A = this chain, B = another copy of it.
Amino acid sequence: MNNPCGQHQHPHRLIQQPLDELTDRLRRHSRRVTGPRQAILDVLRRHQTPMSNRDIHAALGQGCDLATVYRNLHTLEGVGLVRRFDLGDGAARFELVTPEDDGHHHHLVCTRCSLVVEIDDCFPPEFEQSLAQRHRFARISHRLEFFGVCSRCEAGESRPGPVEA
Chain A interface residues toward B at CB < 8 A: 1-2, 4-7, 86, 88, 90, 108, 110, 117, 119, 121, 123-124, 126-128, 130-132, 134-151, 154
Contacts and interface: CB of A to CB of B under 8 A. Distances in A.
Contacts of A145: 142-143
Contact of A139 (B121, B124, B134, B148): B148
Nearest to A140: B148
Contact of A135 (B117, B123, B138, B139): B117
A143 B144 contact: yes
A140 B150 CA distance: 9
A120 to B, nearest CB: 11
Contacts of A130: 2, 4
Contacts of A90: 90
A5 B2 contact: no
B139 A149 contact: yes
B123 A137 contact: no
A7 to B, nearest CB: 7
Contact of A123 (B123, B136, B139, B147): B123
A109 to B, nearest CB: 9
Contacts of A147: 140-143
Top 5 closest A-B pairs, CB basis? A137-B148, A140-B148, A136-B151, A123-B123, A4-B130
Contact of A146 (B86, B126, B140, B149): B140
